[in-house]
Amino acid sequence: MLSGLLLEDAILYNATKKVNNAPDKVFFSGMLAGFWVGIGGLAAVSAAGGIPESVRHDWLSLPKFLMGAFFAFALHFIALFGGDLFTGNTMVLAVGWYNKVVPLRRILVNWLLVYLGNWAGCLLTAYFFGYLTDLFDYPQYRSYLNEVVVAKLEHPNWGQIFLRAIPANTMVCMAVVLGLSARDAAGKILALWFPVVMFVLCSFEHCVANMFFTSLGLMYGAHSTIGRQWYNQSAAVLGNIIGGAIFIGLMEHLLNHWRSPIFRSHHPHSGTLVGHDVESTRRARDFIVGLASHNHSKPAVHVNAQEAPDSRDISQEVSDAEGQPEAREERANAAQRDGAAAAKPKRGSPLWRIISRRAEDEKDAADNV
């Protein structure tokens, strides 16, 4: 399980990968996440809308729980298979900006493309798999969809939607953080499930979930309008950004980089992943290699062959990490004993940015002693 600075470095690694993707891939990844949200939403409506109307009105929390329990699978699919969710990216990229490893302009472009992609995925899924299939063309389901749409678009005012959106994305981004900290699929599934169920059970406002549920409801003739849908989106998007970028992203950053204006620490923060010596740099590379092998993908970082002790790139180390962990550890120990310089990442690469940021943190901490 990852925590502290190791967890933050995992977030930073994901942030640098996201902003370095091509725009068309970013849009496609957002559309894929919208598709998963739609699939989870179809299952959620099928489960919650199947409850008799009398029971729904007497047991108000029961349909909410069922909706959250099945909708949470959408986040499982995104985390384990792939896709970019606008609400999750608000936290991940904000942490990258706080650590000065990703620029604000690229963050805003990524948010816009992912948001549009989420809309495309949700609309296509709602229309082709929810509406044209007549899955909910029954009075009981139509009644439930109308209740959901009216509850989201007609009753709350702008301020209420905005306030409900803050804890909604706080819970979703907490799920993302917990999912990154888990090191196996079972741990990720459990970590992602509970926060999503909580925000749905509390009737909080999640802009991407609302894209799907309100669109599907309007297709089935719910008593609202597209204008009210965008009214809801304007408040939900702003609230979700605050929940992700500040309530989780900034809080996580402050926990790891607190600089008290009153008290000066006599102990520069220890446990930093990267430092100025060979051992800490090797540990940083090994962490990124392990992260890449866990995700079964090559990292967007390559070793500079001229500066490295050998000409192997980091993709070879990924293979070693997957197939021969003992041999990799033995080579690392041998390099340390011989005093060989650790391979330096290419300037400007994601790993270089993370290492540079960590080195600055250690220098600042040492200066404050």
Residues 359 and 238: their CA atoms lie apart, in Å, by 34
pLDDT digits (tens, 9 = 90+) for 66-77: 999 999 999 999
Mean pLDDT of 40-57: 94
Q: Are 208 and 118 in contact (CB under 8 A)?
A: yes
Residue 251 in any domain: the answer is yes
**89 three-class SS:** helix
Give the residue numbers spanning the domain of 217.
4-256
pLDDT reported for residue 317: 43
Mean pLDDT of 337-345: 46
Residue 304 in any domain: the answer is no
Look up residue 2 and give its DSSP letter: -
Percent of the chain with pLDDT over 70: 71
pLDDT, greater one: 327 or 33: 33
Domain count, the chain: 1
pLDDT reported for residue 355: 63
- CATH number (domain holding residue 176): 1.20.1080.10
pLDDT, greater one: 155 or 242: 242
| Percent of the chain as helix, strand, coil, to the nearest 5 | 75, 0, 25
Residue 327 in any domain: the answer is no
**Averaged pLDDT of the chain:** 81
Listed in sequence order, the residues at least 6 apart from 201 whose beta carbon sits closer than 8 Å to its beta carbon are 61, 64, 65, 68
Phi, psi of 345 (to 5 degrees): -70, 155
pLDDT reported for residue 325: 52
Mean pLDDT of 11-32: 95
Q: Is the pLDDT of residue 124 over 90?
A: yes
pLDDT reported for residue 363: 60
Mean pLDDT of 348-354: 61
The burial of 203, by beta-carbon neighbours within 10 Å (0-12 exposed, 13-18 middle, 19 or more buried), is given as: middle
Mean pLDDT of 78-85: 94
* DSSP annotation string for 111-171: HHHHHHHHHHHHHHHIIIIIITTTTT-SHHHHHHHHHHHHHHHTSS-HHHHHHHHHHHHHH
* DSSP annotation string for 171-210: HHHHHHHHHHH--SHHHHHHHHHHHHHHHHHTT---HHHH
Q: Is the pLDDT of residue 267 over 50?
A: no
Phi, psi of 197 (to 5 degrees): -60, -40
pLDDT digits (tens, 9 = 90+) for 310-332: 433 434 444 444 455 555 556 55
Amino acid at 359: A
Mean pLDDT of 150-170: 95
Residue 192 in any domain: the answer is yes
Which band of pLDDT confidence, cut at 50, 70 and 90, is reported for residue 280?
very low
Residues 156 and 96: their CA atoms lie apart, in Å, by 34
Residue 180 in any domain: the answer is yes
pLDDT, greater one: 280 or 240: 240
Which band of pLDDT confidence, cut at 50, 70 and 90, is reported for residue 120?
very high
Q: Is the pLDDT of residue 283 over 60?
A: no
pLDDT reported for residue 362: 57
pLDDT reported for residue 358: 62
Q: Is the pLDDT of residue 279 over 70?
A: no
pLDDT digits (tens, 9 = 90+) for 193-239: 999 999 999 999 999 999 999 999 999 999 999 999 999 999 999 99
Least confident of 56-70, 123-137, 312-326: 312-326
